[in-house]
Amino acid sequence: MIREEWEALRIHDVIFLVAIENPTSQAGAKLHEFESERVEMAKGQKPHKRRDFQWAEEPLDFPSRYGVKYVRGAEVFEYRDEDGVLLNDPTKPDERVNRRGAKRKLRVRLDPAQYYSDKKVL
């Protein structure tokens, strides 16, 4: 399911790049639990336990607990497979049945003002 989402990326799509560093052990367990539930739902199964997530219940220390260092937005402008074939060319769509490999190369445009600000800090 996740692979299908990545394969569906097209030119001008917006993605978010998240840098995570040293999450707490409690966060790792929660992330593992979340991933297990996601896999179950992708298989058409109901999760073992039902949670009604409320944003108000999420503590304000979320970034430090989960190790979120930076979040940046980016716009996709090029998407290639392992053969270097451009996958998001609207004038020449890729019609191959089996694309080679599982690796993909994304080229994105970052916000130049934010990039400049980040470079000044480093």
User: Bridge partners of 85?
Assistant: none
Residues 107, 77: contact at Cβ < 8 Å? yes
Helical residues (DSSP H) of 14-109, grouped into ranges = 25-42, 62-66
Domain ranges of the chain: 1-20+69-122, 23-66
Strand-pairing partners, residue 80, are 86, 105
Q: Using CA atoms, how far apart are residues 9 and 83, in angstroms rounded to an integer?
A: 18
pLDDT, tens only, 20-49: 887 777 777 777 777 788 778 778 877 666
d(CA 108, CA 73): 9
SS3 label, residue 100:
coil
Say yes or no to pLDDT of 55 above 60. no
pLDDT greater at residue 121 or residue 58:
121
SS3 state at 80: strand
Q: How far apart are CA 110 and CA 16, in angstroms?
A: 10
| pLDDT at position 107 | 93
In this predicted structure, the answer to whether residue 111 has a pLDDT above a threshold of 80 is yes
Looking from the CA of 1 toward its CB, the CA atoms found within 13 Å total 8
